Structure formats: structure tokens, C-alpha cells
Amino acid sequence: MAVKILIPGPLRPHTGGQAIVEASGSTVAEVLADLGARHAGITGRLFDGGSLRRFINIYLNNEDIRFLQNLETPTKEGDELSIIPAVAGGSSEEELREEEDDFEPQEVPEGVALFPEIPAELGVHPLWLSTLQALIFLAGSRSEVVHPAAAEEILGYMARYLQRLQGEEMRRLREDMLCLERYAREAKWDKQLLHSLKTLLSDLGIATPLGGVA
């Protein structure tokens, strides 16, 4: 069964310059395998060790296959498969090659505010830990890392959203903060970070939890 495949600019040298080609298969994986058999070199641009490269997104009839059945998503005659390189700023061949080769971990630059990793055994809600990491990053990083005006605006939004918490959700947030304070003291965190943790809720316009750690 023929499936139409939309080819992005950086990959068109492998299809003889064609922006639209056809391939056959009953699943996305089979269609892409047939695409590689028909157009030499393109498989290596899409896959790494049998898995899609991290900068390649595949859409079937405008739906991201990651939210369907991924590569095992069924295909049928007349379907349209789009290959979308997730490359910031455009889709030039040079950019795509740079993204392909960029597998080495990058060092965190100086001036980035990071929150220490919290063990799962502590029981703090993962969603709050994620939010907390973002808050610390935005509020504590240097201006050369995060634009101050942008950080201030985002922090304002986050504070207003958190202020909407009520009842059980607010109680859980306060309990989590008390738990984090105790853990921070036991782990002998830096005094500045500990102080930021203790004043965080009040800084966000949320009443300080009763029974806070002295």
C-alpha cells in the first residue's frame, strides 16, 4: 500500500531533490524501512541503532506518532507521513548535521542556579519538585544565563498559578515544603539555598506554612 511521505529540505538530497515520495508498508516502521530501501542514505539520517534520532519527529496524517503507537502505528493506502526535523532556527543541511553530531553532554555554564536532586524516598510530589527546579533556575540564575525581564514575567505567572491552589492541594504543598526544609538541614545545604527554600512560599505570595522549621 502506497503512503505519501513529505521530505524536509535537508533530506531531499537523498530523494533526488523530491519533496514528496511514496513508500509501502502496513506500519510506520515498515514504510520508513521501504523509504530507506528506495533512497540510499536516508535511513542513517533518521535512525540511530534502530531508534529514531532524537531530533526527528514523525507525523502520520498530522498526528505525532509518539501519541499513537509510535513506529508500530498502522498505515493504510493514501496516508500521509511527514518527517519533521526538530532543529531550532530552520532546517538547513548544516544545522541538521550539527544536531546529529551533538551527542556529547554539555557542561552547565557558570551562573546557573540548580536545585539539588531530591530522593524519591522523601515523598515530595514530583510535579512540585519540577516546579521548584524551574523557580530556582529562573530566580537564582545570573543575567547572562536568563534574561531578567523574561524571568520576572515567567515567575509572576508561576506565582499566580500557585496561588490558585486550595484545600488538599495547598496542604500538600505546605507539607512538602516542611519536608524539604528538614531534609535540607539534615543534608547541610548551603545557608543561602536553605534561606531561599524557607522563604519561597511567602515570596510567591503564599502564606507561610504553620509549624515551619525554626
Mark out the alpha helices in the chain (DSSP H runs): 28-38, 42-46, 93-101, 126-140, 148-162, 167-186, 191-203
Residue 207: predicted pLDDT = 64
Residue 97: predicted pLDDT = 52
Cα Rg of the chain, angstroms? 24
Residue 173: predicted pLDDT = 92
How far, in Å, CA of 33 to CA of 68, rounded? 19
If the chain, 214 residues long, is cut into consecutive pieces of 10 residues, what is the mean pLDDT of each piece? 87 92 95 94 88 87 91 94 68 49 56 85 93 88 86 90 92 92 87 79 71 41
Residue 28: predicted pLDDT = 95
Residue 37: predicted pLDDT = 95
8 Å CB contact between 17 and 94 = no
Q: Give the three-class secondary structure for 44.
A: helix
Residue 91: predicted pLDDT = 45
Residue 168: predicted pLDDT = 93
Residue 111: predicted pLDDT = 83
In the chain the domains, ranked by start, together with CATH numbers, are 2-101 (3.10.20.30), 120-203 (no CATH)
Residue 86: predicted pLDDT = 66
How far, in Å, CA of 72 to CA of 29, rounded? 6
